[in-house]
Structures are given as structure tokens and as C-alpha cells.
Amino acid sequence: QKEVEQNSGPLSVPEGAIASLNCTYSDRGSQSFFWYRQYSGKSPELIMSIYSNGDKEDGRFTAQLNKASQYVSLLIRDSQPSDSATYLCAVEGMRFGAGTRLTVKP
């Protein structure tokens, strides 16, 4: 079992819809969680970090963390074609999932 698991996708949503990305992790002691976006051929860039249970909102993005279930998710509201990318979940900064490829169709 990998330390950080993500739905490999691809995930396709229509423009304006909500995209939901999920991530589970194996180390119960993990304290810091990150979502990165990676466009094809580019390096990852941070979307959000989350450290406490619950929701954290930043514009169209909401990260949700449930440490008891070892689960972290990212919701993208009003999805735009420019959101089409691979989304990487990172735990404790260093352990990355394989990423979920998101396509937002106009």
C-alpha cells in the first residue's frame, strides 16, 4: 500500500461544475497536508495547505481534512478550463500521491 493514495482519474467535469479530488494517507501521525497543481511539462505549484481538521476555503478552492479517517480532499467550485491540470496531494511535505488528472470541458 502506498503511503499517499489518490484517485488516478482522469476526472472530467463540465465548466462551472464542482470538481472533487480525494486523497488518503497511511501515517496516522501526519500533521501537514498540501495540494499542488501541476500543468503538463511544468513544476508543481501550491494551491493550499491544511493542518487542522475541518474545512479551509480560499477563493474557489476548499480543502477538507479528517485526520481520524486519514482523508484529505480538495473541492474546486465553478471549475474553469484553466483548472485542467494534475492535482497532487502531499503529506508532511515530502510524500506525494500519484496525482489526479482533471479536465474541465468548456
Partner 1 sequence: GAGVSQSPRYKVAKRGQDVALRCDPISGHVSLFWYQQALGQGPEFLTYFQNEAQLDKSGLPSDRFFAERPEGSVSTLKIQRTQQEDSAVYLCASSLAGVGETQYFGPGTRLLVL
Size (the chain), residues:
106
Restricted to residues 19-48, the positions that interact with partner 1 (CB under 8 A) are 31-32, 34, 42-46
CA 40 – CA 2 distance, rounded (Å): 24
Residue 18 in the binding site for partner 1 (CB under 8 A): no
Residue 63 in the binding site for partner 1 (CB under 8 A): no
22 neighbors 6 (Cβ within 8 angstroms): yes
CA 36 – CA 60 distance, rounded (Å): 15
Q: Which is nearer to partner 1, 13 or 92 (CB)?
A: 92
Give the residues lining the site for partner 1 (CB under 8 A): 4, 6, 31-32, 34, 42-46, 49, 51, 88, 90, 92-99
